[in-house]
């Protein structure tokens, strides 16, 4: 093995420039990107063997992506290559095509080995390589990964598969079981090398490489180049050509990246509205922990979204099923932890939401790399808390770009979006006919009630999108970015008046409950329910204002999610309280909808109605 110059210095050879850095580039979409690239490289400039060239055409790749243009020629020459490139840049073809060019399909022995950090990535790479090899007769690719039986993998190896793509752990297992010998390999590829090392595969990778012939060619692809990778390169590579399609931690251009400041307790509501107004075919929501994945997933399901969650410890079989559902369109939203979503390649993902700010810029890059794939455009939205601007700055610095602030859609935006989607289907529905029944019934109804047909259509529209009108419980979660200034001060502990929220007594937070006059709600009932279910004392409750459809209650300090959940289920006047932080009149955009004089808490002594109707906890005022 020859010496190599230490990275990151470029090694010198006379045959080719050894460091080639080109502008970041997303993989080119065959139809969209190829035509207007006359000056750029073409696959005609790359000496691919005919069957591979045919495969490229059949796959619709018209223009090589940057990493392909840079890496394929030296790899075809037999040089070792270090590629700094992320998923989504077309790196699989960058090493997959030259790898196939090096194989003699008439020999039934392992000639190429690709190591990948995860089962998912190993399967994807194996699929991609198989798709490049369709015109090469007698060429077999086998994927070796854990969590699935050895039998089929053993048989594929015994039949003489020439290309092995596997995770280091399972590859080592097959070597130990003598199913796999590496002394015949010509090419070794380390894909997502940084991930492999991060996942603790360094020793396995070393061991595997040391069992391969010294003269084999090595290609190493990695999104980042930490020193551990540079050491691997020094030990196992010969005078490598370095190519890089993007600066470290850069993110794909095809992804529109934004952030929104959303206090934690509003995140699920904000997320649901972002998803409800998104045009993306499918979305991934990233969370930090397994528990959060489950929680956010269930609350999205409860809101009517077709969602599922995966974390690192979801069995591989289930994970594959979920990914398949995401691919075939039967799943809209996947809530996942970083580990679970690593290497996930689903073209339909048009939106990534970071439910919380990733701790490291690298994780951010990996997360948003799940969208904007295969030449499509994507969007990435990151929620930050009011005090997390520094984390945002870190990401911006590391990715060398500025994220624009996004506006969280309001419930009104959601209704608009839903109705617009329904209205587009109206002409087709009219075209299909059989509307006589409805025309007749509606005609009668309009005549009987002296209604304006437009008013009726508006009410039907509102009902069809689930808008129950002002004061309905569904309105309680309203959070809009415009309100944040007030929230921010509030969260910092400045309990002064919020700019656009109703006046709050010092140290008290204003909450809204979904019961009002029309439901017979009276202050004693509300106080009873809140103290009883929330474990609070009467003195924790401040001013109460009751409107026709809801009421505002000032509560000392703030309620925990568990308290809110318990109180929400309590009933007053036969209706659930559904408590939530008060967002002010229409997000500060207009007056409260009710002209009524609200009842004050002081009214309660004279009031007997609308009691908290729990048998377990009779109304008990605890004035303290």
Site residues (vs ligand AMP, CB under 6 A): 27-30, 61, 63-65, 68, 87-93, 345, 373-375
- Measured from the CB atom, is 87 or 212 closer to ligand AMP? 87
Least separation, in Å, of the C-beta of 35 and ligand AMP?
12
- Measured from the CB atom, is 112 or 262 closer to ligand AMP? 112
Contact (CB, 8 A) for 456 and 442: yes
Least separation, in Å, of the C-beta of 234 and ligand AMP?
26
Question: 409: number of CA atoms within 13 Å, CB side?
Answer: 18
Which letter, b or e, does each residue of 108-125 get, where b requires 16 or more Cβ atoms within 10 Å of its Cβ?
A: eebbbbbbbbbbbbbbbb
Least separation, in Å, of the C-beta of 29 and ligand AMP?
6
- Measured from the CB atom, is 40 or 386 closer to ligand AMP? 40
- Measured from the CB atom, is 30 or 179 closer to ligand AMP? 30
- Measured from the CB atom, is 93 or 398 closer to ligand AMP? 93
Least separation, in Å, of the C-beta of 202 and ligand AMP?
23
Least separation, in Å, of the C-beta of 199 and ligand AMP?
19
Phi, psi (5° rounding) for residue 326? -65, -40
- Measured from the CB atom, is 202 or 374 closer to ligand AMP? 374
Least separation, in Å, of the C-beta of 376 and ligand AMP?
9
Least separation, in Å, of the C-beta of 91 and ligand AMP?
5
Helices (H), ranges, 484-623: 484-491, 523-534, 561-569
Least separation, in Å, of the C-beta of 308 and ligand AMP?
23
Q: Which helix (H) or strand (E) holds 260?
A: strand 255-261
Contact (CB, 8 A) for 614 and 571: yes
Q: Which of 301, 345, 295 is nearest to 323 (CA)?
A: 345
- Measured from the CB atom, is 83 or 263 closer to ligand AMP? 83
- Measured from the CB atom, is 208 or 252 closer to ligand AMP? 252
Helices (H), ranges, 330-406: 338-341, 361-368, 389-399
Which letter, b or e, does each residue of 322-332 get, where b requires 16 or more Cβ atoms within 10 Å of its Cβ?
A: bbebbbeeebb
Least separation, in Å, of the C-beta of 347 and ligand AMP?
6
- Measured from the CB atom, is 70 or 89 closer to ligand AMP? 89
Least separation, in Å, of the C-beta of 94 and ligand AMP?
7
Looking at residue 6, the DSSP 8-state letter turns out to be: P
Contact (CB, 8 A) for 604 and 520: no
- Distance from C-alpha of 399 to C-alpha of 463, rounded to nearest angstrom: 45
- Measured from the CB atom, is 128 or 353 closer to ligand AMP? 128
Q: Which of 188, 157, 162 is nearest to 174 (CA)?
A: 157
Q: Which three-class secondary structure string do you get for 465-493?
A: CCCCCCCCHHHCCCCCHHHHHHHHHHHCC
Least separation, in Å, of the C-beta of 450 and ligand AMP?
60
Q: Which three-class secondary structure string do you get for 397-440?
A: HHHCCCCEECCCCCHHHHHHHHHHHHHCCHHHHHHHCCCHHHHH
Which letter, b or e, does each residue of 549-588 get, where b requires 16 or more Cβ atoms within 10 Å of its Cβ?
A: bbbbbbbeeebeeebbebbbebebbebbbbbbbbbbbbbb
Q: Which two tokens stand for residue 252?
A: 């794909």
- Measured from the CB atom, is 43 or 599 closer to ligand AMP? 43
73: exposed, middle or buried (Cβ count in 10 Å: 0-12, 13-18, 19+): buried
- Measured from the CB atom, is 63 or 309 closer to ligand AMP? 63
Which SS3 state, helix, strand or coil, does residue 306 take? coil
154 contacts: CB under 8 Å, gap ≥ 6: 174, 177, 179
Provide the strand spans (E) within 139-222.
Answer: 141-144, 163-166, 187-190, 217-222
Q: Which two tokens stand for residue 2?
A: 């020859």
In the chain, the N- to C-terminal Cα span, in Å, equals 82
Least separation, in Å, of the C-beta of 398 and ligand AMP?
20
| Bridge partner residues of 509 (DSSP) | 555
Contact (CB, 8 A) for 144 and 153: yes
- Measured from the CB atom, is 90 or 584 closer to ligand AMP? 90
Q: Which two tokens stand for residue 415?
A: 């209704």
- Measured from the CB atom, is 188 or 287 closer to ligand AMP? 188
- Measured from the CB atom, is 134 or 518 closer to ligand AMP? 134
Least separation, in Å, of the C-beta of 100 and ligand AMP?
14
Least separation, in Å, of the C-beta of 119 and ligand AMP?
16
38: exposed, middle or buried (Cβ count in 10 Å: 0-12, 13-18, 19+): exposed
Least separation, in Å, of the C-beta of 287 and ligand AMP?
24
- Distance from C-alpha of 474 to C-alpha of 471, rounded to nearest angstrom: 8
Contact (CB, 8 A) for 380 and 371: yes
């Amino acid at each position: 093995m020859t010496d190599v110059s230490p990275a990151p210095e470029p090694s010198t050879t006379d045959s080719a420039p050894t460091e080639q850095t080109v502008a970041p580039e997303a993989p080119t979409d065959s139809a969209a990107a190829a035509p207007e690239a006359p000056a750029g490289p073409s696959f005609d400039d790359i000496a691919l063997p005919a069957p591979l060239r045919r495969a490229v055409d059949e796959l619709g790749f018209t223009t090589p992506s940057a990493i392909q243009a840079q890496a394929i020629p030296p790899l075809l020459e037999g040089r070792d290559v270090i590629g700094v490139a992320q998923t989504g840049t077309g790196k699989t073809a960058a090493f997959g095509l030259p790898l196939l060019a090096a194989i003699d399909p008439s020999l039934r022995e392992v000639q190429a080995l690709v190591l990948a950090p995860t089962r998912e990535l190993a399967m994807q790479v194996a699929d991609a390589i198989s798709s490049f090899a369709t015109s090469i007769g007698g060429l077999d690719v086998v994927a070796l990964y854990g969590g699935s039986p050895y039998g089929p993998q053993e048989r594929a190896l015994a039949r003489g598969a020439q290309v092995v793509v596997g995770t280091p752990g399972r590859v080592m297992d097959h070597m130990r079981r003598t199913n796999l010998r590496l002394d015949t390999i010509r090419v070794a590829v380390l894909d997502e090398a940084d991930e492999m090392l991060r996942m603790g595969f360094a020793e396995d990778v070393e061991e595997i490489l040391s069992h391969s012939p010294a003269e084999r060619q090595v290609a190493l692809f990695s999104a980042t180049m930490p020193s551990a990778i540079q050491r691997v390169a020094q030990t196992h590579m010969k005078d490598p050509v370095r190519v890089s399609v993007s600066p470290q931690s850069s993110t794909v251009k095809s992804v529109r990246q934004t952030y929104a400041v959303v206090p934690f307790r509003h995140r699920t509501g904000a997320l649901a509205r972002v998803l409800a107004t998104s045009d993306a075919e499918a979305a991934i929501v990233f969370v930090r922990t397994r528990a959060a994945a489950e929680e956010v997933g269930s609350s999205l399901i409860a809101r009517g979204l077709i969602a599922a969650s995966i974390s690192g410890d979801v069995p591989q079989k289930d994970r594959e099923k979920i990914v398949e559902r995401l691919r075939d369109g039967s799943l809209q939203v996947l809530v996942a932890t970083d580990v679970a979503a690593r290497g996930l390649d689903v073209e339909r993902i048009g939106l990534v939401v970071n439910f919380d700010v990733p701790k490291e810029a690298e994780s951010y890059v990996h997360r948003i790399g799940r969208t904007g794939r295969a030449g499509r455009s994507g969007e990435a939205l990151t929620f930050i808390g009011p005090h997390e601007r520094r984390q945002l700055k870190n990401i911006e610095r590391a990715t060398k770009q500025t994220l624009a602030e996004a506006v969280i859609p309001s419930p009104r935006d959601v209704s608009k979006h839903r109705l617009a989607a329904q209205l587009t289907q109206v002409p087709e529905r009219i075209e299909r006919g059989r509307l006589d029944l409805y025309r007749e019934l509606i005609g009668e109804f309009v005549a009987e009630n002296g209604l304006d047909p437009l008013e009726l259509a508006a009410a039907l529209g509102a009902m069809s999108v689930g808008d129950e009108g002002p004061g309905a419980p569904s309105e309680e979660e309203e959070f809009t970015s415009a309100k944040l200034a007030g929230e921010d001060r509030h969260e910092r502990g400045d309990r002064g008046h919020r700019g656009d929220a109703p006046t709050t007594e010092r140290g008290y937070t204003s909450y809204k409950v979904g019961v009002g006059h029309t439901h017979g709600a009276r202050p004693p009932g509300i106080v009873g329910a809140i103290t009883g279910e929330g474990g609070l004392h009467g003195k924790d409750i401040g001013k109460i204002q009751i409107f026709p459809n809801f009421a505002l209650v000032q509560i000392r300090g703030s309620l925990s999610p568990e308290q809110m959940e318990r109180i929400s289920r309590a009933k007053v006047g036969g209706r659930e309280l559904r408590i939530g932080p008060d967002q002010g009149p229409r997000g500060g955009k207009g007056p409260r909808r009710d002209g009524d004089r609200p009842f004050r808490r002081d009214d309660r002594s004279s009031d007997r109605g609308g009691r908290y109707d729990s048998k377990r906890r009779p109304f008990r005022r605890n004035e303290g």
